[in-house]
Amino acid sequence: MGESPQEKRKVRRQVPTLAELAPRYLEHVRGYKRVPEIDERYLRWHLLPRFGKLHLDELKQAEIVDWLNGKVKEGCAQATVNRWQIILPHLLRLAGEWGIPGAERNPLKGAKLRDPNNKKERFLSAEEIGRLRAAVEQSPNPLLAPIVTLLLRTGCRKRELLDATWDQFDRERKSWRIPMSKSGKARHVPLSDEAIKVLEALPQLCKYVVPNVKTLKPHGSIFSAWNTARRRAGLKDCRIHDLRHALASHLAMSGHSILLISKVLGHSSTKTTERYSHLSGETLGDAVNTAAKVSGTTWATPTYSSTRPWRPTAVAEGRDYPELFLALRRALYVNVGGPKPHQRRPSTPANSLRRKWMRSFRAPACRNPPHV
């Protein structure tokens, strides 16, 4: 006998809908997420209007993935859509751990996130920084100039600076301790001499370093003042976060390592730092020239004999065999345990090519180099 419709309805009533499960999920994430309001906003505005009425056992991977891809085609950023895709399976996984009926199977398990390809590499040149400085100094917001200067000189994130308090700075040690960074851990930011001068010039109006002068509280946003300044400087595409990129770029072009730059920026992995470090072609050229000097060897361009075009002759005709090539010949014969250079090997194709290659380095004035 099959299951009666009444029993099916009874089982179905035990399986909650996504909308019924959402409040418990939000209550759970408020205990450990720094900004749980983001999850709440994504659920209320996007996920629940589409899937909220469906029971957990009615959710299908193909349907959800098609909807996510459709949102990207409609103009939503891939990175934003990826966040929706992260929230939904996380919610369903927690439901399974809580033993909620219908959550025995996670429909989004194995669904891969698509690459957002949102890496923006905007680096300010010295000339652009000069224009930006002149623009921010004309701003009606008196603290915009020190904010921009400190962002450029410390490489910190905007919110880290706007929420900074005076007790976090140790001017003697030239260090700034950020109690809560993006990674959820405290980090220390080294302060340059110029950053120290900016801090010393700031008035201590309250416990915050760069507060809103009207409320003496942290700025909610400085976009209006920033947008006016960047447009005045002719930098419409420059974001505040690009000031952080600029410091990393200048550190890299000064010859500092990726590891050091990652420590300054507070990255837990050097892989993240690679998108910020930008090396100019001139810097790369200086790097290989420096490596050539460290090697201690100057390689002269060989000239070629008119009678044997394939055989390079000595740079200075008639002089001794170059010591480097002589040492190379000796090493080749000694390492293989073979005969001395004057001894002839069996005539095999490989040995013939070897002798031909060795003769190519022989100068006319040194037909028989000394034995090892």
Q: What is the pLDDT of residue 366?
A: 45
- Across the chain, mean pLDDT equals 77
Looking at residue 250, its pLDDT comes to 78
What pLDDT was estimated at residue 270?
64
Which candidate, 266, 273, 271, 263, places its Cα nearest to that of 185? 266
Helix axis angle for 144-154 and 193-201, nearest 10°, is: 160
Q: Which two tokens stand for residue 157?
A: 């994130």
In sequence order, what are the residues at sequence separation of 6 or more whose Cβ sits closer than 8 angstroms to the Cβ of residue 69? Answer: none
Which position has the higher pLDDT, 129 or 364?
Answer: 129
DSSP secondary structure string for all residues of 352-367? HHHHHHHHTT--TT-S
Taking the C-alpha atoms of residue 340 and residue 343, their distance in angstroms, rounded to an integer, is: 5
Query: Could you tell me the pLDDT band of residue 77, with boundaries at 50, 70 and 90?
Result: confident
Q: Which residues pair with residue 187 across a beta bridge?
A: 178
Q: Which two three-digit tokens encode residue 345?
A: 């090997």
Question: CA nearest 364: which of 325, 323, 332, 316?
Answer: 316
Q: Where are the beta strands (DSSP E) in the chain?
A: 169-170, 175-178, 187-190
| pLDDT bucket at 321, cuts 50 / 70 / 90 | very low
| pLDDT tens sequence across 144-179 | 999 999 998 888 889 999 999 999 999 999 999 988
User: Among residues 87, 86, 88, 106, which one has the least CA distance to residue 96?
Assistant: 106
Query: 309 falls in which pLDDT band (50, 70, 90)?
Result: very low
DSSP 8-state symbol, 165: B
Instruction: Please determine, for residue 301, whether its predicted confidence score (pLDDT) is greater than 90.
Output: no
This prediction has a pTM of 0.58
Q: Which of 170-174, 247-251, 324-328 has the lowest mean pLDDT?
A: 324-328
Q: Which of 321, 317, 332, 337 is nearest to 369 (CA)?
A: 321
The pLDDT value recorded for residue 292 is 60
**Confidence band (pLDDT; 50, 70, 90) for 3?**
low
Give 316's strand partners: none
Mean pLDDT of 293-318: 48
